[in-house]
Structure 1
């Protein structure tokens, strides 16, 4: 899931066993990814997840509002936001990306605008770095890069479809503190979307960032502070299905 983050203190006790700070010439992209997956709870434990539900406070354009994010594999998701008493829903059922936006079109479900749908449907439940080679992705360590005063390892992920992402790993705890993509279409084509991740916390043995801030072209667009995480909740499939005919 994915959407800058002011860097908050990481949970030192969890990471201390794997803390390291190697020179870039002494480490490989595969070593970074292996340590990262171990530090966030282990690849097998993440692969065993059947669903995730997160609650939090979202902020945009000077407003703060409650929100819920629900996901099930391989790529179904639903986001509910309450804005001034009006509920906005964005969802993807694996085939159709749809939304209910009372501020644009009323209370009926509509197919999501093409540009938004294109980005929304790219999100996957499973971390792209898990078994990345089997998925047809490649990784490359580009070197070091500074992110908000922190020197990081910059790892380029090229997906099977040719799309590219840039991930910036804290060299001591080997978790990403920023992810960057370049928009490939729409009015904002060519601009960088930067998602900053911080305040990692442990939930049933898995480490999850609980503060997420997204910037577009260097300007903050959205942030979310996660207040509750449920792992493997029972989520009805109808939550994600496009309510045709309604």
Structure 2
């Protein structure tokens, strides 16, 4: 259950002998940005509210994410009639976990490792473009086949040494998969996310479906976006840690 909670909060082929094209990382990133809707439109996104539905072992879990881009993130997850709240603002975070999830039901400071894992949720758009803005190193390491489609394989190396791998469609230039090793609950866990069903919202493209390994073991967990709102008004109070009663 602990691993399940950590993975929810974090809310992810075969090689071929293709020869890499002469395309550079910068050229690929430029086409990727164009495919996502363009730099000008993304620069105008200041806040996002996204509603999603997790499907795991026949059980549906509702989730709502509220994002002040680059500043703060709040998620609310409903599990079997219980609500878990997770908030990250800057370098700090807090969460509310019901007893069934190992919590007290009160607002508690989030472990630093969870803040680190969750902080990227303050960003919207693209893992690759966020990495570039943060000054991470991005290398084009290969061209392979993923589920029968050609993909560029790009490795992201963050300033703190964390490494992730992005699989980018060679035809649409949209991200199809992300793989990384993350620290969840004190354990190094291999995480893999597959993205699909890209749709436009106000001219910006988002993956409305995501698939990852079932944190409870066996099979996969499906995450489907049900709605996205661009630039809604968000009250600052929703990111403030409640005072213990």
TM tier relative to shorter chain: 0.7 to 0.9
Residue 89, structure 1, aligned to residue 85, structure 2 = yes
Secondary structure class of the residue paired with 2:129: coil
Tell me the equivalent position of 1:117: 115
Say what the alpha-carbon RMSD is for the aligned residues: 2.7
Tell me the equivalent position of 2:204: 206
Tell me the equivalent position of 2:64: 68
Residue 3, structure 1, aligned to residue 2, structure 2 = no
The two structures have a TM-score, normalised by structure 2, of 0.81
- Aligned positions, number: 228
Where does 1:75-224 land on structure 2 (aligned, <5 Å)?
A: 75-102=71-98, 103=100, 104-126=102-124, 127=126, 129-130=128-129, 135-183=134-182, 187-189=186-188, 191-215=189-213, 222-224=221-223
Higher relative contact order (CA 8 A, sep 6+): 1
- In structure 1, how many angstroms separate the alpha carbons of the residues matched to 2:232 and 2:51? 13
Tell me the equivalent position of 1:243: 242
Secondary structure class of the residue paired with 1:183: strand
Contact 2:52 2:224 in 1 (8 A): yes
Contact 2:193 2:211 in 1 (8 A): yes
- Say if 1:41 and 1:134 are closer, same or farther in 2 by CA, change over 3 A: closer
Deviation of 1:211 (Å):
0.5
- Say if 1:79 and 1:234 are closer, same or farther in 2 by CA, change over 3 A: same
Deviation per residue, 1:103-156 (Å, 9 max, x gap): 233431112244433311244415454385563222111011332333311011
Contact 1:99 1:109 in 2 (8 A): yes
Select the residue among 24, 33, 44 that pairs with 1:28: 24
Tell me the equivalent position of 1:15: none
Contact 2:63 2:75 in 1 (8 A): yes
- Say if 1:159 and 1:105 are closer, same or farther in 2 by CA, change over 3 A: closer
Secondary structure class of the residue paired with 2:187: coil
Deviation per residue, 1:197-235 (Å, 9 max, x gap): 100000000000000122379965643110111000001
Which stretch of the first structure deviates more once superposed, 129-138 or 105-114?
129-138
Greater helix content: 2
- Say if 1:204 and 1:96 are closer, same or farther in 2 by CA, change over 3 A: same
Select the residue among 16, 39, 50 that pairs with 1:43: 39
Unaligned runs of 5+ in 2: 1-8, 13-17
Report runs of 4+ in structure 1 exceeding 4 Å deviation: 131-134, 184-187, 216-221
Deviation of 1:2 (Å):
7.2
Contact 1:56 1:68 in 2 (8 A): yes
Unaligned runs of 5+ in 1: 5-21
